[in-house]
Amino acid sequence: MSELYARGDVLIEMLRKKLNERGAKGVMGLMKSFRTIDKDKSGTLSPDEFKLAMKDYKLAFDDGDIEFLFKEFDQDRDSSISQDEFLRIIRVYLDANRSREN
Ligand SMILES: [Ca+2]
């Protein structure tokens, strides 16, 4: 179980750093990134949209990593990532890492 947590942590940390590099700082920046990923403007991210974004971000994730990460985000298991789910996961991470970054 701890290994699974660690894998999610590492993947989310990498994604968070990438979003930061791309200027997605704070809630507004993250929402802008979310809307960019949401190509069909449905207000949620499908597995395909999520996968395309991860490839576009040039993160060294394989398909298994992306699937794993999608499930981390998709907390209500409806096969899509809502804005709330997206922000919740990224911001939990921002909070957890705040002391290290300062
Ligand atoms: Ca969902």
Residue 77 has pLDDT above 90, yes or no: yes
The count of domains in the chain is: 1
* Segment 17-40, tens digit of pLDDT: 999 899 887 889 999 999 999 999
C-alpha to C-alpha distance for 59 and 27, rounded to whole angstroms: 22
The residue ranking higher by pLDDT, 50 or 9, is: 50
Q: What is the mean pLDDT of residues 4-20?
A: 86
Which pairs count as long-range contacts for 38-44, CB under 8 Å and 24+ apart, including other chains?
42/80, 43/82, 43/83, 44/80, 44/81, 44/82, 44/83
Q: Specify the CATH number for the domain of residue 92.
A: 1.10.238.10
Domain ranges, residue 86: 2-101
Strand positions, DSSP E, the chain: 44-45, 81-82
Q: From ligand 1's centre to the CA of 85, what distance in Å?
A: 7
Ligand 1 centroid – CA 41 distance (Å): 15
